[in-house]
A and B are shown apart, each in its own frame.
Chain A
Amino acid sequence: MAERHKRRMKFNAVIGTLPMIAVAVGVYVIGIAYTVYWSFTSSKLFPNNDFVGLRQYERLWNDDRWLIAVQNIWIFGVLLIAFSLVFGYLLAIFMDQRIRQEDLFRSIFLYPFAMSLIVTGLIWQWMLDPNFGIEHTIQSLGFTGFHFSPLVDPKTAIYGLVVAGIWQGSGVTMAILLAGLRGVDAEIWKAAKVDGIPPWRVYLFIALPMMRGAIGTAFVLQCVGVVRVYDLVVAMTGGGPGIATNMPAVYVIQMITSSQNVGLGMAAATIMLLPVVLVLALLGIARWVAARRKEAAIRRELAKA
């Protein structure tokens, strides 16, 4: 009787989570399967079943637009993440100096993150405008040699995007790292003080390695942001000048809409999925190995006893 009652309850749980089951299986299993499947077909405007093997991937890696997109995501990602982490940690350290108005500074550093990347892109498009922006204004003050309008030059446009990305995201990194700093045991600070270790060394060599969790969180958040950089590019440069600031996320959307080349777009999407799968698999393996080591250690202890 109790058993049947329990089963009925579990049945309710299944009913309650039907949307989750539908999304987990429908979107993240079947959806991805379709994406991968269509990447092996010659689909144009609409998907078809004409199997062409790896031809779409061959075309993809011979397409300048894609090659530039891949190069750009690396430049953008590495620069943005490195700058955000360094700048964010610096801000966090300075915020940690018993300053007045900490909440005010925190609000100022963080507010860009509340806004859409479209808004961020348009703000910086205006700031970097070659005719009326920072460059023109500073030149009109007499500094005629001043040049800062990265968006007009295909070679430098990507750095303009990096500036906007830092402006939008480093406040969040600061907030997360500051929370991490405040989580470091006060005893460690006392001990360091007694030993006469200068604060900057404590921040760099003692506190930093203890904040692995916070750094990981900030890093993951930045990575997710980099992969989703679509909106910023569309608003700020539209992928231009020419194709100079194309990104994989932009490339896929172009292929499935204006370029009407679903097969190629799905090949690009599949490539975008690969690093995610790779990283998650590595993490999974690392966790499994750690668990097994622990198990083995326990067993050894038991054998000794």
Chain B
Amino acid sequence: MTTMDVSANALPRAAEEPHGPKPRRVSPARIGVYAFLVVSALFFLVPLYVMVVTSLKTMPEIRLGHLFGLPQSWTVQPWIDAWLNACTGRDCNGLYPGFWNSVKITVPSVIVSIIIASINGYALSFWRYKFANLFFGLLVFGAFVPYQVVIYPLIMALRQMHLFATMPGIIIVHTIFGMPILTILFRNYYAAMPAELFKAARVDGAGFWQIFFRIMVPMSVPITIVAVILQVTGIWNDFLFGVVFAGRANWPMTVQLNNIVNTTTGTRAYNVDMAATILTAAVPLAVYFISGRWFVRGIAAGAVKG
């Protein structure tokens, strides 16, 4: 990670030294500092803990109502049920199909959206043609437009193209809505590159695509990592586009999770619900813990406006 940090200097970073007074040994103030941090940490951790223990309890035990207690008799059956047997309406196939739908949606969407956005950023930094900045301005504006404002025209357009409720349709939708943030990200990254690099390549006779593939792409590793983190978590966690555009056969994991938990008729199996919830959160959580500080950088970079 430290080696990567060196090459990522064009990105915002959480940096430098803390300011607080140098800690002496144990003083009341120090204890107060840690007490506040530990209590806050509990606020963030307790729900996760409760989810995990609930998912490992049997239903009779859950009905006793000891939310925070450890399971008396441990069981992994809820996890198996959540993955294979949990019901959404009449189908009882568990989350497993949703998981694969999410994979099938996320992988191409991430790849396509990043390729397009990097070309956008490159063209906007080095090949500004007439009106290029107008289009970019519209895109930046789009980053702030609530999805609901454009969702219905998009439904109608995709319907006309026979792409509504299809896998290519949902991938196009994710590409569209990822474009503003990603384009801003890549444009800012390329704009911070030394212009000499580009000029030298131009003098050598390299053209638009040559410079892009030979020079820009190899130098884009750090920003691409940030973009991948941003897109994988964003698209995996999406619910709105999945439920509207994917179609029943392609519903992603989040949609199936919500259906399992919120549309059950009869008694609810809270342990299965919680196991299913953890399973759905597992992929983005893994991305988060593996990527570490890159994740924070992605959020900060995503929020910085052009």
Contact = CB atoms under 8 A, between A and B. Distances in A.
A123 B233 CA distance: 18
Contacts of A57: none
A137 B66 contact: yes
A32 B138 CA distance: 12
Interface residues of B, number: 101
B305 A220 contact: yes
A43 B254 CA distance: 31
A171 B295 CA distance: 12
Nearest to B115: A19
Nearest to A38: B152
B33 interface: yes
A13 interface: yes
Given A20-B139, A118-B280, A132-B65, A256 B300 contact: no
Interface string A259-288: 000100110111011001000100000000
A20 B116 contact: yes
B228 to A, nearest CB: 14
A198 to B, nearest CB: 11
Given A178-B14, A238-B262, A276 B236 contact: no
Interface string B149-177: 11111111100000000000000000110
Given A132-B65, A220-B305, A30 B153 contact: yes
A114 B233 contact: yes
Contact of B135 (A24, A178, A269): A24
Contacts of A154: none
Contacts of A207: 19
Contact of A175 (B23, B124, B139, B300): B300
A14 interface: yes
Nearest to A237: B262
B254 A116 contact: yes
B204 interface: no
A258 interface: no
Contacts of B270: 126, 129, 132
A263 to B, nearest CB: 11
A265 B244 CA distance: 15
B116 A24 contact: no
B281 A115 contact: yes
B18 interface: yes
A117 B239 contact: yes
Contacts of A227: 146
A23 B262 contact: no
A94 interface: yes
A56 B132 CA distance: 37
Contacts of A96: 18-20
Contact of B51 (A16, A34, A123): A123
Nearest to A108: B41
A31 B154 contact: yes
B244 to A, nearest CB: 7
B274 to A, nearest CB: 7
Interface stretch (B82-90, B103-111, B283-291): B283-291
A107 to B, nearest CB: 7
B41 A105 contact: yes
Contacts of B65: 131-132, 136-137, 140
Given A98-B22, A105-B41, A16 B123 contact: yes
Given A24-B136, A119-B281, A182-B18, 20 more contacts: A12-B207, A12-B209, A13-B127, A16-B209, A23-B176, A96-B20, A111-B44, A111-B285, A118-B257, A118-B258, A118-B280, A122-B257, A122-B273, A136-B67, A179-B300, A220-B305, A228-B146, A265-B152, A269-B149, A270-B149
26 contacts: A16-B120, A28-B142, A28-B150, A35-B149, A90-B36, A96-B19, A97-B21, A98-B22, A108-B44, A114-B285, A117-B239, A118-B280, A123-B50, A126-B273, A137-B65, A137-B68, A175-B14, A179-B14, A186-B17, A189-B19, A231-B254, A249-B146, A265-B152, A272-B148, A273-B145, A273-B146
Interface of A: 9-10, 12-14, 16-17, 19-21, 23-32, 34-35, 38, 47, 90-91, 94-99, 102-103, 105-119, 122-127, 129, 131-134, 136-137, 140, 167, 171-172, 175-176, 178-179, 181-184, 186, 189, 199, 207, 217-218, 220-221, 224, 227-228, 230-231, 234-235, 238, 248-249, 252-253, 256-257, 262, 265-266, 268-270, 272-273, 276, 280
